[in-house]
Amino acid sequence: MAAAEDGQPSRHPYAYADAVPAPVAFVVGAAVAAVRLACLLLGALVYVACARVKAPRIGLTRLAMCCFGVLPGLLAVDDRREKSDAAETPIVVLAPHHGLLEGLFAAYYFDARPMMMRTFAKLPVIGAIVRANGALLVELKRHKKGSSVAPADAKPSAAARQALATHAADYKGGRPVAVLPEGTTHNGASLLKFFEGAFKPLAPVQPVCVRFSGCVDGSFCGTLISHLARLLSAPYQRMTVTILPATRPLDGEDASAFAARVRAEMAAELGVPLSSYDAKSLNAEYVARRRRRPG
């Protein structure tokens, strides 16, 4: 168990909640995973060729979500935006950050350019989609090949921060940038502390609350391979999204206070506690536990 900021216990951010044991799902879903991988590969090839055209770009992104279990009828969106929000919000913030699907949803629903971990851009199929979509890639300072968990210090490079600030200043409608402000992945049982990068421009942000349910927890709480295997092998992932009205900075509010206010509003909507963890402390604890394991 982990403590929330109010002192109440909550499920640890890296604890899976599987209704069906994952090994059983992997065996049963092996054939399904093979078919989904083939569809992803075909879709990626078409996507790269059509990425500059909105309609096929949106459709193929939805196909990728289907391949990861969010089948037709399993995506529910409660859109509470005001009419003017889309034209006035250059940055979409999504939480909790379970894994790959939030970035795909942002690209599908908002036609957003996702700010994503560079890890995903290196994948043979998903990487082609990410790069063709013009994603802003996050440099992970402690990311090493073979890392067993989404690393901490997921801070954008100076170029990415500058690109985000320039995007916010120049935004006149069109494609927003999607940011995952927690900076690392977890199971969504609580809301980690937000990095301030998405809030530094002091521009309106679009909060998006994400929930998942399914027989297998598809969250990225271990290796990248296990995350992809969970998504590809599970029969389905039910994705429920609540899009809150755009949030604007208050007079005299700095980026830290703005981020904290948005985080509190999203946690209240999700009905989850505010975690005492941030990305850095969560990863540090994970690494320390692994070092203590025998063998």
d(C-alpha 40, C-alpha 185), whole Å: 22
Place of tokens 């992803």: 40
Largest alpha-carbon pair distance within the chain?
A: 58
Q: For residue 9, what is the DSSP state?
A: E
pLDDT in tens, 240-278: 999 999 999 999 999 999 999 999 999 999 999 999 999
User: Has residue 114 got a pLDDT over 90?
Assistant: no
Q: Tell me the pLDDT of the chain averaged across its residues.
A: 83
Provide the token pair at 263. 């985080």
* DSSP reduced 3-state for 114: strand
pLDDT in tens, 51-72: 677 888 888 889 989 999 999 9
User: Has residue 33 got a pLDDT over 90?
Assistant: no
> Could you give the percent of the chain with pLDDT greater than 90?
38
Show Cβ contacts of residue 126 under 8 Å, excluding neighbours closer than 6 positions.
Answer: 40, 44, 64, 100, 120
* DSSP reduced 3-state for 209: strand
Provide the token pair at 271. 């009905």
**Angle formed by the axes of helices 54-67 and 100-109, nearest 10°:** 150
Average of per-residue pLDDT across 122-131? 72
d(C-alpha 233, C-alpha 28), whole Å: 8
Q: What is the pLDDT at residue 2?
A: 61
Q: What is the pLDDT at residue 205?
A: 97
User: Has residue 162 got a pLDDT over 90?
Assistant: no
Average of per-residue pLDDT across 96-104? 93
pLDDT in tens, 215-226: 888 899 888 888
Average of per-residue pLDDT across 180-196? 92
Query: Considering only 18-27, 98-107, 255-264, which range has the smallest mean pLDDT?
Result: 18-27
Q: What is the pLDDT at residue 176?
A: 94
d(C-alpha 233, C-alpha 212), whole Å: 16
In the chain, count H helices and then E strands.
11, 9
